[in-house]
């Protein structure tokens, strides 16, 4: 997938049309720059992940001396639901068994960030994180668990504030070894919840 950037000019025009569609035809003085601010927020921040190749985020890494489980847990993320364009936010936990190399720990969080800053489904996001780490590092296995609250469930529809969605995805050794999955889940705190 070739990284692309959102078109700010078209976002600005769409924001203006949206405001007009909800009855804000005459933008008040405090709203005059709203279309520009919306375009800037969506292009430069909320959807900035479209301009990032998550596999490249992992870089060259470092030679691995050990083959023990590495877990980066409690990575906060916010994404936008592709169905209603409403945010969902929570935490991601990513673990991997090193192959020939390891990544700087902040790189794992940056992969989550790059992929979450796109229109997403949580299930797809979880799978994309495992795929990016697998392709970017070539480890023996990757696991990802995400837990998030979705505004499309809290401000509309069921309106169940506090309900959280949990998704998991596994690659390599994590698929083949239930004991490894259990260790990952224990280390990420799901066994206590």
* 155-166 tens-digit pLDDT: 887 788 888 999
Best CA proximity match to 133, nearest among 125, 143, 124:
143
Mean pLDDT of the chain: 91
State the average pLDDT over residues 136-143.
96
Give one word for 189, left, alpha or beta, with left for phi > 0 and alpha for psi -120 to 50. Answer: left
CA distance 115 to 121: 11
More confident: 117 or 161:
117
In the chain the domains, ranked by start, together with CATH numbers, are 8-49 (no CATH), 57-192 (3.30.1130.10)
Question: Residue 72 phi/psi, 5° resolution?
Answer: -110, 115
Predicted TM-score (pTM) of the model is 0.90
């Amino acid at each position: 997938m070739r990284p692309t950037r959102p078109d700010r000019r078209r976002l600005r025009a769409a924001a203006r049309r949206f405001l007009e569609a909800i009855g804000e035809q005459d933008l008040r003085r405090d709203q005059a720059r709203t279309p520009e601010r919306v375009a800037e927020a969506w292009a430069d921040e909320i959807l900035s992940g479209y301009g990032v190749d998550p596999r490249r985020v992992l870089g060259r890494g470092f030679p691995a001396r050990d083959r023990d489980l590495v877990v980066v847990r409690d990575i906060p993320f916010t994404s936008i639901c592709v169905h209603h364009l409403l945010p969902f936010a929570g935490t991601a936990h990513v673990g991997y068994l090193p192959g020939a190399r390891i990544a700087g720990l902040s790189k794992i969080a940056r992969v989550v960030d790059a992929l979450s800053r796109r229109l997403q489904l949580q299930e797809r996001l979880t799978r994309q994180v495992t795929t990016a780490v697998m392709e970017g590092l070539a480890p023996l296995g990757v696991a990802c668990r995400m837990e998030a609250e979705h505004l499309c469930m809290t401000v509309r529809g069921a309106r169940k504030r506090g309900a959280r969605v949990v998704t998991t995805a596994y690659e390599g050794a994590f698929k083949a070894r239930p004991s490894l999955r259990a260790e990952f889940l224990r280390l990420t705190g799901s066994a206590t919840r």
